[in-house]
Amino acid sequence: MNQDLSYTRRVFLTGPAVAAGLTSSPLVTASSSAVIKRPASEKSNRKPIIISSANGFHAAKLAMKKISENGDDPLDAVIAGVNLVEEDPNDLSVGFGGLPNEQGDVELDAAVMHGPTHRAGAVAALRGIKYPSRVAKLVMSRSDHVLLVGQGALDFAQAHGFQEEPLLTDRARRVWLHWKETLSNRDDWLSPADNQVAADIRQYATHRETGTIHMSAMDQNGDLASVTTTSGMAFKIPGRVGDSPIIGAGLYVDNEVGAAGSTGRGEANLANLSCYQVVENMRNGMSPVNACLDVCKRIAEHTREPRLLTNGNPNFNVLFYALNKAGQYGGAGLKRGSQFVVHNGQQPRLINCAYLYE
């Protein structure tokens, strides 16, 4: 039974919170050991549904096609979907073209979780591999581990045939260089006149990109899977790991309950184990949107450092996307103005997230 929440702060619910859909399984690579094949008599013929962060519009189309036309496992489908964003040089927050750390190196994080087997895999601080989500799946299916990091993650990827390649695009390099040149007037890095720097580059001198892509799906049998992949916080300290590759923080799946994922300030999710709590909220009867709002409220109440507050409220944003076993979905964030993608088999559409603050 869904339960409404009362908040001491202002709560706004915008956009629909309910839909339809559900799922089952084969996985992505031919080498996967986690494939679930159900006999035809067990298939339930439910309507598939996919949710993702706002940058997953085209990715959701591909994932839905993989499930509804090809009969792919939901994990294979969402990984194929986010691969489109991982290889897109125009998305500065994911994969190839992602903004680098403070030294100019692109470090990638990704995690996957497969509902039917309750298995998970992740990589963090991975350099030189364009598709970290694929490597995360291999960690899940071809190792006895959940998380590999740094050089170990790279060695594991190369052992499975991945080729190392440069990930820093010219645009991302120019953004990083402008950030470095304007960071201080007490070093030897000199910036050109403002009118020589394009506006889309100049904005990142003061704005720290924290975007990511998350996608969750349910197939015709009600089986769930999720993936989150990111290049992390722009200009981070080398070796920084955010929430995206941490199971329970950046994503979580319980095949009997639902799935949740997040984008935004990873440190807040790490300190609150946010996505695990969203799924637990749904287990306890909350609708997806209220489950997300409850965790937003928790993050706000736990944010106490003055540098992270403006007028008593968090000065950063965190967004959640949740899907339950009944096919209901919801998205919510700390601040107004964000959207998420829902695809229920017709066309993907953008829906406004609920939020706590203007």
* Cα gap 286→218, rounded to integer Å: 19
> Helix H segments across 94-222?
132-142, 150-159, 170-182, 199-202
Task: Kindly state the DSSP code that residue 308 receives in the 8-state scheme.
Answer: G
Among the listed residues 117, 169, 210, 212, the single catalytic one is: 212
Edge to edge, what strands does the sheet with 329-335 contain? Answer: 251-254, 258-264, 318-324, 329-335, 354-357
Burial label for 186, CB within 10 Å (0-12, 13-18, 19+), is exposed
Q: What angle do CA 147, 149, 152 make, to 5 degrees?
A: 105
Angstrom CA distances, 137 to 83, 126, 153, 154, stand at 13, 14, 12, 14
CA atoms of 63 and 76, how far apart (whole Å): 8
Inter-residue contact 278 to 295 (CB < 8 Å)? yes
Q: Which residues pair with 313 in a beta bridge?
A: 310
For 314, list phi and psi in degrees, rounded to 5. Answer: -55, 135
Task: Count other Cβ atoms within 10 Å, centred on residue 285.
Answer: 11
Active site annotation includes 29: no
Residue 241 CB coordination number (10 Å)? 20
Q: What is the DSSP string of 37-55?
A: ---GGG---PPPEEEEEGG
Using only C-alpha atoms, what is the Rg of the chain? Answer: 20
Residues with a catalytic annotation lie at 212
